[in-house]
Structure 1
């Protein structure tokens, strides 16, 4: 059994309300997000209604638009609002693949880091005990190689994003490893989704919309990327399954 770190001992010494206050604020913010109807702004209909205004603003104020995406995405990620995919598509639609992808990666990393520290302050053994067998599997993975395992969890969405955030906090993944693995691990998926959004933008701006437009590089490329991205978890699980089965077969 590992001995408590100085941080863990200090956190345990704090009153319970102080330790759980950051998580409590995040939960309240998530409830307010739905109660005030803010979630309605992150829909396909809302994007369609405001696309001209948003794109015009982004063209005239690129840096400000990117900063807005970073802030909004950071807040949405920190409170675990279920708008990640649609907002990434929106970012690509408004800012393009490159600028939209960069803004999302930065915002998501900041938001994930916020909830990581909030969870680390409150979690400790509590989250680990509540998580059951799946959380135990995560604990074993982090214990072997925190950086590599964290990167895989970001690259291959085996668990929901917010679950990985809290699990990393519960099992004391080093903050540096967490941030680096998150930043680089979410890049492939983010840029694929952003490129899909940019592809939608190409369709809406095209003057000759027909079957042939689907064969354009800016359209077919993101579609292929999305298909490949969806196959990654299946391939990973198959490879891991074969690796796990191999010792048993050799020993039979």
Structure 2
């Protein structure tokens, strides 16, 4: 009986970080949507600039920490945070701060999910048979390419790209490297939009977040997607020849 209790407590302890993340994400969704918004940034822009000018290093540190919290707890406002990075720090080093914050936050939720459920689910998938096992084996053989594709394709929600690898036994270093490098194109685009917010505020307009889907932006990103998918296609063709 004691062993069963200890085992249950151990499982609960492992799942607690992810459960806390989920709870905070739900609460944040309903309570922070009106605060982490473009209007909030517009209303506080002068105070933010003044604080940055007086305390640059502290502002950068607080900004990165806030970005980590937003991503780790899947709070609303990640896009606004990215724009703020550009508004406060220009495209560079703003994009670097955004990527660092997003990568650390993504790694936190990846680790929590893997510790709570990922290892157990991964073991079950590894021990499965049929199509499920074939899908997992296919992903295992192309982990780098799949990880980069999830980051580069704009249609894949960021939080899903954080959770799915935790269930597929992806090594942490691969997750971190692919996240950091894979989100750079999108981060640079949105950070550059944020860098131009001064003029947007002056005109009383809102930023054009659909810019990422304009041809001059989306085509190079799709080109990177093709490069990421190329190893998968080559392996598939070789596999068919070997049959």
Unaligned runs of 5+ in 2: 1-6, 126-131
Cα distance change, pair 223–77 in 1 and its aligned pair in 2 (3 A): closer
Matches within 5 A, 1:81-230: 81-124=75-118, 125-126=120-121, 139=136, 142-204=139-201, 227=214, 228-230=216-218
Q: Distance in 1 between matches of 2:109 and 2:173?
A: 15
Q: Distance in 2 between matches of 1:49 and 1:169?
A: 39
Which residue is equivalent to 2:54?
Answer: 60
Unaligned runs of 5+ in 1: 1-11, 130-134, 210-218
Cα distance change, pair 151–64 in 1 and its aligned pair in 2 (3 A): same
2:26 corresponds to which of 26, 31, 34: 31
TM-score by length of 2: 0.74
Cα distance change, pair 141–107 in 1 and its aligned pair in 2 (3 A): farther
Total equivalences in the alignment: 216
What RMSD over aligned residues (CA atoms) do the two structures have, in Å?
Answer: 3.6
Moved more, 140-149 or 42-51: 140-149
The answer to whether the 8 A contact 2:14-2:116 is kept is yes
Cα distance change, pair 62–223 in 1 and its aligned pair in 2 (3 A): farther
Deviations 1:35-76 (A, max 9, x none): 5x3332211111111111111212222221111111111111
Which residue is equivalent to 2:12?
Answer: 17
Deviations 1:99-144 (A, max 9, x none): 2211111110000010111011122354888xxxxx9898455312
**1:80 is paired with a residue of what secondary structure?**
coil
Q: Distance in 2 between matches of 1:229 and 1:137?
A: 35
Q: Distance in 1 between matches of 2:165 and 2:193?
A: 30
Q: Distance in 2 between matches of 1:141 and 1:157?
A: 22
Displacement after TM superposition at 1:223 (Å): 8.2
Cα distance change, pair 236–181 in 1 and its aligned pair in 2 (3 A): closer
Displacement after TM superposition at 1:80 (Å): 1.2
Q: Distance in 1 between matches of 2:196 and 2:56?
A: 19
**1:17 is paired with a residue of what secondary structure?**
helix
Q: Distance in 2 between matches of 1:44 and 1:24?
A: 29
